[in-house]
Amino acid sequence: MSMLRLKLPTDPRWVNIVETNIEEILTDHAWCEQKAASNAITIITINSEYPDLVTDMLALAKEEIEHFEMVHEIIKKRGLKLGRERKDEYVGELAQYMKRSNTGSRVSGFVERMLFSAMIEARSCERFKVLSENINDEELSKFYRDLMESEAGHYTTFISYARKYGQGIDVEKRWKEWLEFEATVIAKYGKKETIHG
């Protein structure tokens, strides 16, 4: 997981909290996938001049909706219910940082959106890895191991587009700053049975 360059790893004991309420983690996870699909659609809407980006974001949105469906199928199979959408405070803090970091130019806005998206995918990927390695549920262990690989691909996609279309911006410097900021945010979480909680 060193490729993700996250500064603060998740304490594996977070999985003990998750295991006390599987319905909650699955509901939260389902809505995370829906929001990821919506984010990809938003990126298309505001950056339609890049055909390669549009193509990749369409594929990503479809994949995220498929993941939503997969989680929903697990919920149904277990006789659980998909609860109402949850507010993701971790993502909210990253979104505020994205807005504050935008210098006002179109390119800056694009790069910040890409790095915001990459950050969420990186942390989700790391959380899926922790789940896959520590949860005492064979089905969910395999499920999260499979999803982990997909999320890593998404993270790479967002970083690549930030580099490709971030003319005049030191994307590597900004990514390091994002990683530093995210470490201060995630330090407050890991106490709830949610993907980022």
> How many angstroms separate the Cα of 37 from the Cα of each of 59, 75, 84, 99, 144?
10, 19, 17, 20, 18
- Please spell the DSSP secondary structure of 82-130, one letter per residue: --PPPP-HHHHHHHHHHHHH--SSHHHHHHHHHHHHHHHHHHHHHHHHH
| Percent residues over pLDDT 70 in the chain | 98
Whether the per-residue pLDDT at 40 is higher than 60: the answer is: yes
Whether the per-residue pLDDT at 152 is higher than 90: the answer is: no
- pTM of the model as a whole: 0.95
| 3-class secondary-structure state, position 171 | helix
Domains assigned to the chain: 13-185 (1.20.1260.10)
Whether the per-residue pLDDT at 3 is higher than 80: the answer is: no
